[in-house]
Structure 1
Amino acid sequence: MTTTDTAIAATAAGISAIAGGLAWHASRKANATAAAVARIEEDRWHTELVPNIQLTRNGDTLELTYVGPPTLGPLRIRPEIRDDRDRSVDRVLAGGPTREELAEVIWGPCRFRPGNEGADERGRTTAPFRLEPGDSHKLAIDPSPRPSWMEGVDGERRWRRDYQSAPIRLWLICEADGHKPWRLPVDVHRFGAATTTPADGTTRR
């Protein structure tokens, strides 16, 4: 092979290597783009298929009805009572309740009845339960106990007055086969019903 032939072969090999590298980068970019599109589509479906759960408060009972969408199939639902606001960043005053004591309190009108439906000892949450589309599930609720530092009859009266007209605030953690879990906020007022938050972030009433 002449020097010219060797140079031509080397050039061809270089061009082939460059072309191969470009093809590899193009393939990686295409795969990354496809994965990004798939994630966007998955997130869109996750938002559009948000479970519609209707909640109705009737005395010492909270009823949850799985309205839809029926295409999700059965749901596993775990309700959790939220506080009226986040107190984890509040200042802790000397001589007052500790941060741990503040966290023990359910700052709202009601709790789940401890021990009923697998509710924890504070009544903050229950065991998960299964619902088919169109079915309902009832949970027992009780007035939330006042903090230990609100002593006596006057403390009890002030506690009840503070939350007399406040809604029960909840998270509903919903799981369906083949989907990522949903964590849905909902406020249930003393009289009337509410449903879980839809994709636009507003609360259905």
Structure 2
Amino acid sequence: MSVEAWSAVAAAVSALAAIVAVVVAFFAWKATKNAAKATADLTKIEARRWHHDLTPQFTFELGPEAGDRTTLKVWFNGPAALGELTVSVTIRNDKPRNSTLAGSPSQEEIDAQVWGPYRFVPHVDGADQHGRAAAPIKLLPGDGRQFSLQRTIAPSWTREEWWRDEFKYAPVRVGLRCTSGDDDPWTVYHEVPTVQGTPLEGRLYAAGRDTDGG
């Protein structure tokens, strides 16, 4: 075989080796990338599981009622690993409410109204002017806080009798946004039953964990 032929063979072998090296490097990179993605996915799954397992747990006590006033006590039961928790409590509507009919109140007026049996007493416990939300509080596991509530006032566009009947047996629906350090926040929802028409007995309602909304 001539020198030229050997040179051509050597060049071809060298090119093939280079191609093989590129292919091997590509599959090694892909395997590394897949392994990194699998590790990242597993880390996310574990982080979500850890976050779910640490969902704050609360207990509530409602009552007794005096006139149009009552109290809502909120206890932070744990988990103890969370340490101090910052909690923002809001009162939620019975259901989504929208302005859809001609001549109906505006969406702004609807949003300002608390649609339920009770609201926070405005400007008490740091509550806003509508009685929707109280100022954030800090709780350690085992600590509790009492909030002042009053019966919601029927808006000007409806009748008082209808309003009372509408929410006669409705629960107090609360949402709690909880933060602890640099952890992602938790949003926890609960319904606290009420007894309308008679004085409310002080009773405890152990709350389950629900972080999916509602």
TM-score tier by shorter-chain length is 0.7 to 0.9
Q: Distance in 1 between matches of 2:205 and 2:176?
A: 13
Q: Secondary structure at the match of 2:125?
A: helix
The alpha carbon displacement at 1:140 in A equals 1.0
The alpha carbon displacement at 1:100 in A equals 2.6
Change (3 A) 1:131 1:189: same
2:192 corresponds to: 188
Q: Distance in 2 between matches of 1:200 and 1:129?
A: 20
CA contact (8 A) 1:187 1:194 kept: no
Q: Distance in 2 between matches of 1:119 and 1:101?
A: 18
Q: Secondary structure at the match of 1:28?
A: helix
CA contact (8 A) 2:187 2:211 kept: no
One-letter amino acid matched to 2:129: E
Q: Distance in 2 between matches of 1:111 and 1:195?
A: 21
Confirm or deny that 1:102 pairs with 2:110. yes
Q: Distance in 2 between matches of 1:174 and 1:194?
A: 19
Confirm or deny that 1:133 pairs with 2:144. no
One-letter amino acid matched to 1:193: L
CA contact (8 A) 2:127 2:134 kept: yes
Q: Distance in 2 between matches of 1:194 and 1:173?
A: 19
Q: Superposition RMSD on alpha carbons, in Å?
A: 1.9
2:89 corresponds to: 79
Q: Secondary structure at the match of 1:87?
A: coil
Change (3 A) 1:199 1:57: closer
Aligned equivalent of 1:26, options 9, 25, 31:
31
The alpha carbon displacement at 1:198 in A equals 2.0
Q: Distance in 1 between matches of 2:137 and 2:184?
A: 17
CA contact (8 A) 1:83 1:108 kept: yes
CA contact (8 A) 1:78 1:172 kept: yes
Q: Distance in 1 between matches of 2:149 and 2:113?
A: 16
CA contact (8 A) 1:186 1:195 kept: no
1:6 corresponds to: 11
Q: Secondary structure at the match of 1:35?
A: helix
Query: Following superposition, which runs of at least 4 residues in structure 1 exceed 4 angstroms of deviation?
Result: none
1:171 corresponds to: 175
Change (3 A) 1:81 1:199: closer
Which runs of 5 or more residues in structure 2 are unaligned?
A: 1-5, 195-200
Q: Distance in 2 between matches of 1:50 and 1:117?
A: 25
The alpha carbon displacement at 1:35 in A equals 0.8
2:55 corresponds to: 50
Q: Distance in 2 between matches of 1:45 and 1:13?
A: 47
Q: TM-score scaled to structure 2, two decimals?
A: 0.84
The alpha carbon displacement at 1:93 in A equals 2.2
Q: Distance in 2 between matches of 1:52 and 1:74?
A: 13
Q: Distance in 1 between matches of 2:44 and 2:206?
A: 27
Q: Distance in 1 between matches of 2:210 and 2:24?
A: 46
One-letter amino acid matched to 1:198: R
2:198 corresponds to: none
Q: Secondary structure at the match of 1:79?
A: strand
Q: Which of the pair has more CA radius of gyration?
A: 2
Confirm or deny that 1:15 pairs with 2:26. no
CA contact (8 A) 1:47 1:199 kept: no
Confirm or deny that 1:161 pairs with 2:171. no
Q: TM-score scaled to structure 1, two decimals?
A: 0.87
Identity of aligned residues (%): 33
